[in-house]
Structure 1
């Protein structure tokens, strides 16, 4: 239906219909890139120099999608400003028919995804995208009706600009999340200071240093740390309990912990 809507936008000269098609295109491209990246990242055969595999491809795809969303939104807003200054005629009848057909298609997808939205994060993401598409289709329908009954053709670029602006908050959120992962900042739901306190509370641990917590890709948080333990401590027990703290309290299944006797020196000399 994306092709139909894009062609319809050109035929009717409707900016709001074109922006709706652009919104749908970014959703389609974003989902496609994410699925392709996940497929490649999950391949079992990996080159030895890719020590973390290709999991970050999903994050790079999300960042590329954010850039695409921003470009589409910026173009629509720019075009809307130009059309407000230089009004153009819009064929509201055909525009209304195409917008209604788009809304019906979105309603069907909305109903199909509604049940699974509470069971899968990916399905919920697709469900929310369809809901956003439905709202933009409703906006185009309103614009077509207003133009048909009042001949206020300036409504079309106003609705188009509204759809363009509607894209920006999602773009900011998606881009910020991707950049946060790429700079290896700690996940927003994990308090690094609390992790340090919990690890230090493990029996036998006297100090924790070089603690790092980051996200490799979606739903895959990781951690590394040096645990300084009393010389008489059982290293195996300390390691097992520390890994359990990370797994149970913070849902970090992949952790790299270096256990060091208190009498050992040199491991904390690196200052970066």
Structure 2
């Protein structure tokens, strides 16, 4: 008979939000306010002065304010419903949904910029170089401040990885069995290791595995990133890029007469932004479709290699939050190897926040 070791929804929470969730939410809200203020200022100034350049840039800022607003709303929704049992694995992936929506908006912005630039390259129009340059510089300054707010002294996406090293003093808290399921929760929402007869040797092995995992983890800087914050950051950088390219083109047009450079720079910017949008869309969609996290899956295989007589027969690993993974692992094991022992060997992988272990006799 198979032995299953799992934590039920009744015995632990399903809040898998990123560790920097609240701080990222505050930063994004500030950037939304700053972008919205810039948008309103440009639209009002455009109507007062009759400047189409100001009006156009103001409405362009509106698209970014909308996208950033989606990111801010996603943080709030995920926080409010973090413990809502209507969501089987919590709301840790709400940010991915918002990031995907923002990627679509970013793609549309790139398309509009590309088409408009191509039309202006074929049919050049008069440009108010001085006025447009001032607008571009102000926009760039706003984007620099926004980028600083979103970075907050951290890498863009929360690339921080650590591992819990359980001490020999930790013991299992066994709450008995229910329907063939053993529930072994750990303090802090993770998974506790179990004491064994050869605990000293086991601890040494676990520490070695933990060191290997930590070394490998730091080689992958993009692992565990907050794609909602990343989407907001890319919108800001997209705007900053268009501002820089516009300033270069406008100065060249004003002092060198290179009027053609303005639409060319627009096309270049559109291509770069489109690539950012595609990358973000690819990364967020893979999470939304529960793609296998190959990195953590390999860590699980490595952690169980030292368990003699154990063979993995089925393994599922998917993301349920920026730094959280759910795992279902089925193993064929020799007599005496329990689900608790398998769980303890995987305890060094701190991304595993929801673990189901099934052991079949070998």
Which TM-score applies when normalising by structure 2? 0.59
Alpha carbons of structure 1 residues 87 and 118: separation in structure 2 relative to 1, 3 Å: closer
| Aligned equivalents of 2:78, 2:150: Cα separation in 1 | 26
Alignment partner of 1:220 out of 317, 321, 324: 324
Give the 3-state SS of the residue equivalent to 1:116 in structure 2. Answer: coil
Q: Residue in 2 aligned with 1:154? A: 260
Greater relative contact order structure (CA < 8 Å, 6+ sep): 2
> Is the contact between residue 222 and residue 254 of structure 1 (CA under 8 Å) also seen in structure 2?
yes
Deviation of residue 145 (structure 1)? 2.0
Q: Does 1:56 align with 2:93?
A: yes
| Aligned equivalents of 2:263, 2:45: Cα separation in 1 | 16
Give the 3-state SS of the residue equivalent to 1:208 in structure 2. Answer: strand
| Uncovered stretches (5+) of structure 2, i.e. residues with no partner | 1-37, 159-225
Alignment partner of 1:164 out of 257, 270, 275: 270
Give the 3-state SS of the residue equivalent to 2:313 in structure 1. Answer: strand
| Uncovered stretches (5+) of structure 1, i.e. residues with no partner | 263-272
Matches within 5 A, 1:1-272: 1-5=38-42, 12-13=51-52, 18=56, 22=60, 25=62, 27-44=64-81, 48-110=85-147, 116-118=153-155, 121=158, 125=230, 130=236, 132-187=238-293, 189-190=295-296, 192-193=297-298, 195-203=300-308, 205-233=309-337, 235=338, 237-244=340-347, 248-249=348-349, 251-262=351-362
**Which range is displaced more, 112-121 or 212-221?**
112-121
Q: What do you get for the CA RMSD once the two structures are aligned? A: 3.5
Alpha carbons of structure 1 residues 57 and 111: separation in structure 2 relative to 1, 3 Å: closer
Q: Which has the higher helix share?
A: 1
Deviations 1:139-192 (A, max 9, x none): 2222222232344433322222222122112111100101111222223543x3
> Is the contact between residue 229 and residue 259 of structure 1 (CA under 8 Å) also seen in structure 2?
yes
> Is the contact between residue 181 and residue 217 of structure 1 (CA under 8 Å) also seen in structure 2?
no
Give the 3-state SS of the residue equivalent to 1:232 in structure 2. Answer: coil
Deviations 1:83-121 (A, max 9, x none): 211221122221122112222333444556666235973
Alpha carbons of structure 1 residues 146 and 54: separation in structure 2 relative to 1, 3 Å: same
Deviation of residue 21 (structure 1)? 6.7
Alpha carbons of structure 1 residues 95 and 116: separation in structure 2 relative to 1, 3 Å: same
